Amino acid sequence: MTDAGPEATPRRRASRLARVQATRTQVLNAATDLFLSQGYVATTMGDIAAAAGVAVQTLYLRFGSKAQLLKECFDVAVVGDDQPIPLAERTWVEQLKQEPRLNESLKLLVRNSQAILERAVPLYTSIEQAAADPEVAELLIEVKRQKLEMVGVFASMLLSKTGYNRRVSLPEATDLLYAIGSEELYRLLCIERGWSGDRWKQFVLGSLSDLLS
């Protein structure tokens, strides 16, 4: 029996989109695993295609290049899933915007920043290690630019909170959030020096509370 009637086409379209999304997720997962296990340079598009069970041509048609695929893997690591919802539109960011108190806002921001860094730092390191490649070097610049832009949005939210120190300007608050919540500092403390996530969280929360209130 075949679909018929006006609902048939929307159902087929939804089914096709679901298959496309499933394939995309499969590719991103496979690519992430390979970038982390054998490095960006050593990983070929053929390796990724084989691991994901798709044709190499499919990768190029959907992602354009290996560097763009790395970028999309990193984006997924930042937000935590492959849904087409930007970080700025995530539920916790809206909660941060609505929370009136600085201390509670910082707790929310630091908690979610910790989750982001835990997911994203391994791929961020892969990007840094492969930055001799001109495309990846441009990607690293773009990743840093996007991070600074998003941190600026968070800083502007904090300025309106009860308990915020008005003597701290928006550019200074942005720089503080950018530095203290950086991938580099997280990697230094939690990977090189062996801090736990809770210890990092307490350090960052205490530092930002002292500096911004």
Q: Is residue 109 classed exposed, middle or buried when 0-12, 13-18 and 19+ CB atoms within 10 A define those classes?
A: buried
Domains and CATH numbers, the chain: 1-64 (1.10.10.60), 66-212 (1.10.357)
Q: Chain centroid to CA 183: how far?
A: 11
Q: 């008005």: which residue's tokens?
A: 166
The encoded tokens of residue 132 equal 């001799």
Matching residue, tokens 């300025």: 159
Q: Do residues 119 and 186 lie in contact, with contact meaning Cβ atoms separated by under 8 Å?
A: no
| pLDDT, position 3 | 55
CB atoms within 10 A of CB 133: 16
Residue the block writes with tokens 């608050």: 173
What pLDDT sits at residue 1? 46
Q: Which residues pair with 162 in a beta bridge?
A: 101
Q: In whole angstroms, give the CA distance from residue 184 to residue 187.
A: 5
pLDDT by residue, tens only, the chain of 213 residues: 455 555 567 877 777 777 778 899 999 999 999 999 999 999 999 999 999 999 999 999 999 999 999 999 999 999 999 888 899 999 999 999 999 999 999 999 999 999 999 999 999 999 999 999 999 999 999 999 999 999 999 999 999 999 999 999 999 999 999 999 999 999 999 999 999 999 999 999 999 999 999
The CB density around residue 200, as the number of other CB atoms within 10 Å, is 21
Rounded Cα distance, 211 and 213, in Å: 6
Q: Determine the Cα–Cα distance for residues 148 and 151; give it in Å rounded to an integer.
A: 5
Q: What are phi and psi of 183, to 5 degrees?
A: -60, -35
Q: Which among 69, 89, 84 is positioned nearest to 26, based on CA atoms?
A: 69
